[in-house]
Amino acid sequence: MDLLVTVIGNAAVDPLFREKLLANPREGIDTWGFRLTKGEIEMLEAMFTKRQEKLEEKFKALENALYENLEQLIPKACDRPCRMSVSRPSKLLKKAA
């Protein structure tokens, strides 16, 4: 099983995942291949189905702060989304190419 905390962390560092998650939480995690427990799905839907604009704003601020800190510690450490994020689904990679 994956963890809801991993989903939240990935939303902080991958803007494409965050966009999909906020648009449709269940579809977003399914697209990325996350497998959550029934309880985690309930919490996911409760957390991400309201106030998406505010969540987007706060997640973007967190993303920027995390990357700024990383850049100060290790210059040119990684591009966005960083290598610590969950790998994007292959069907999304093909569309970007």
Cα torsion for 3, 64, 57, 6, to the nearest 10°? 0
Q: Is 85 left (phi over 0), alpha (psi -120 to 50) or beta?
A: beta
pTM: 0.78
pLDDT band at 58 (very low <50, low <70, confident <90, very high): very high
Residue-wise pLDDT for 12-32, tens only, equals: 999 999 999 999 999 999 999
Domain parsing of the chain, residue ranges: 4-96
Taking the C-alpha atoms of residue 94 and residue 76, their distance in angstroms, rounded to an integer, is 26
